[in-house]
Amino acid sequence: MKPATSCFLAVLFTLSALAAFAQVPERPIPRLVKKDGRYALFVDNAPYFILGAQVNNSSGWPAMLPKVWPAMEFLHANTVEIPVYWEQFEPRPGQFDPSVVDTLLTQARAHRLRLVLLWFATWKNGNPHYMPEWMKLAPEVYPHVVDKDGRAVDSPSPFAAASCEADARAFAALMRHLKGVDPQRTVLMVQVENEPGTGGNLRDYSPAAQRLFEEPVPAEVVKAMHVPPGKSSANWQEVFGSDAEVCFHNWAVATYIGKVAAAGKAVYALPLYVNAAPGTHRCAVLRDPTQPGPPGSYESGAPSDNVLPIWKAAAPAIDMISPDDYAADAAGYVKTLDIYHRGDNALYIPETGGSPRFFFFALGHQTVGFSPFGLDFTRIKTIPDAARPKDELLTPWARTGTKEFVAPFVPTYSLIGPMARDIARLNFDGKLQTAAEEQGKVTQTLSFGSWDAVVSYGVWARNGRPVGNPQPMGGVLVAQIANDQFLVAGFYCRVDFRPTAPNQHREFLRIEQGTYQNGAFQFQRILNGDQTDGGMDFSSEPLVLRVSVTSY
Ligand code: DGJ
């Protein structure tokens, strides 16, 4: 397309979108709210839970969308994470083409879905692959990181002022456009970049970067990292020793992204976040919080557990640092949730994989949303059906884009979807707890003051002893909706209640099975007799119970 034509189209789209704007009532801008140490994402003035899914990297094009929306309907998602590509959005310097964004908004609304947009720009998995062609063709203006031998590597330099200015200008143009065309607030949040950082090199070794590395550590980093007063005017090496290069590169990347985010937020204050992939034994991209190796064994310049305060100080326009939690084991998964669920950081899981029961771990850590990666029907499948399960574990995304990859999440999403608003509100009010099965732990207890909820896995008889499921698969949420009344929903477990007062026994007053319609619990039947004499059993079928208890 010629520049003049694309510019004309962009103006036309903006004008028609603005005309639409005039007719649609403006809703409140989504925002993160903190209360008593807990966070919620407020959408339309009430807590909202992102029951999300992220599409594959190249699925954000209009031609692919017919393979996206059916997957979301099949899944019962309420929100889609979808990329906006800098290379598409700014095909020529300063000429912005919002046509794809407008298509996303229009079609998402038609499918009653909300969006989280992913700004694939300077960094995509540590690489500059989404920079527009005109930038790739001018590496002297938009330079790469330089290694110790002076060679350019496949990662953008965080010290490239021209790249940062260009990214900030383009991101502000995107946010300005969204502000103009989205009074409905179809877009809830924006991810700035994608898994930033640099693999294989600890930092930029260009002469300009080297000079900064030898200068005193900036005051905001000294403060954020609690550097002792005696060292406050020392340089990076003197202050941080063997971690100096990682801290330096994180400060540089966070400062750059902070500028991009601030430019966008100044025009439209949606919640913004940066995603990070903590390493696991399976996918050692970033520092593994459970077994941290030395600098060099993980990607540098990404918000791993050891540098979060640097990011908070250098990029205040970023509201959340959000882990892509791909840990395959429960302990690793939960460790990551613990690290990113902080007083100064609302938890959000923008990418995940693994067992659907991990949803319950994330919910119990008060995440504002959960979005498994690669859930669309673009039929990307790089390993054959006959591949051994072991191979699938090694390449978890090799089956993305298929119905079989989406299917495991469907029961959980079918269960949570209709009650998502209630779940978000109860979590924000501190009324909700969860349990999910862990290898070797057949019983877990949740404490609600005068009641304990006891969750057991693999109970095969009315008065049987729990032996665990054949593989960990159980998960449940329990929310206290009145002193002696609970909402319980989950899979593959038994739940019972126990009074905490001594010598008291539980009596079920009434166990109601129901469904959620228009956000409210609708009674279907009372469960009793064989269905509840041993406790409340949850199977593969989505099941919501409202239970009233008393004691004798
Ligand atoms: C994490 C990245 O953030 C995603 O964009 C994607 O590349 C997945 N890894 C794996 O395909």
Closest-CA residue to 52 (of 118, 126, 121, 98) = 118
- Look at strands 485-491 and 475-482 and give their pairing: antiparallel
Do 158 and 86 form a contact (C-beta atoms < 8 A)? no
Residue carrying the six token digits 């998960």: 475
> How remote is the C-alpha of 140 from its chain's centroid?
35
What is the rounded CA–CA span in Å between residue 217 and residue 231? Answer: 9
Statement: residue 281 has pLDDT above 50: no
Please write the tens of the pLDDT for every residue from 172-225.
999 999 999 999 999 999 999 999 999 889 999 999 999 999 999 999 999 999
Please write the tens of the pLDDT for every residue from 352-381.
988 999 999 999 999 999 999 999 999 776
| Centroid of ligand 1 to alpha carbon of 203 (angstroms) | 22
β-bridge partners, 187: 115
Buried residues in 11-50 as b, exposed as e (16+ CB within 10 A): eebbeebeebbeeeeeeebbbbeeeeeebbbbbeeebbbb
Tell me which residue has its CA closest to atom 10 in ligand 1. 397
Please write the tens of the pLDDT for every residue from 116-173.
999 999 999 999 999 999 999 999 999 999 999 999 999 999 999 999 999 999 999 9
Ligand 1 in reach of 451 Cβ (< 6 A) = no
What is the end-to-end Cα distance of the chain in Å, rounded? 77
Ligand 1 atom index nearest CA of 195:
3
* pLDDT reported for residue 15: 56
Please write the tens of the pLDDT for every residue from 35-91.
999 999 999 999 999 999 999 999 999 999 999 999 999 999 999 999 999 999 999
What are 359's two structure tokens? 């949803």
Q: Is residue 284 very low, low, confident or very high in pLDDT (cuts 50, 70, 90)?
A: very low
Please write the tens of the pLDDT for every residue from 385-442.
666 655 555 555 667 888 888 999 999 999 999 999 999 999 999 999 999 999 999 9
What are 548's two structure tokens? 């009233």
Do 98 and 85 form a contact (C-beta atoms < 8 A)? no
Helix axes 3-23, 161-181, angle to 10 degrees: 40
Ligand 1 in reach of 325 Cβ (< 6 A) = no
| Centroid of ligand 1 to alpha carbon of 125 (angstroms) | 7
Ligand 1 in reach of 74 Cβ (< 6 A) = no
Ligand 1 in reach of 336 Cβ (< 6 A) = no
Ligand 1 in reach of 57 Cβ (< 6 A) = yes
Burial category of 91 from C-beta neighbours within 10 Å (exposed 0-12, middle 13-18, buried 19 and up)? middle
Do 164 and 259 form a contact (C-beta atoms < 8 A)? yes
Please write the tens of the pLDDT for every residue from 245-279.
999 999 999 999 999 999 999 999 999 999 997 66
| Centroid of ligand 1 to alpha carbon of 277 (angstroms) | 9
* pLDDT reported for residue 396: 59
Closest-CA residue to 521 (of 548, 492, 494, 539) = 548
Burial category of 299 from C-beta neighbours within 10 Å (exposed 0-12, middle 13-18, buried 19 and up)? buried
**Higher model confidence: residue 504 or residue 400?**
504
**Higher model confidence: residue 388 or residue 33?**
33
Burial category of 356 from C-beta neighbours within 10 Å (exposed 0-12, middle 13-18, buried 19 and up)? buried
Q: How many CA atoms lie within 13 A of 148 on its CB side?
A: 4
Ligand 1 in reach of 191 Cβ (< 6 A) = no
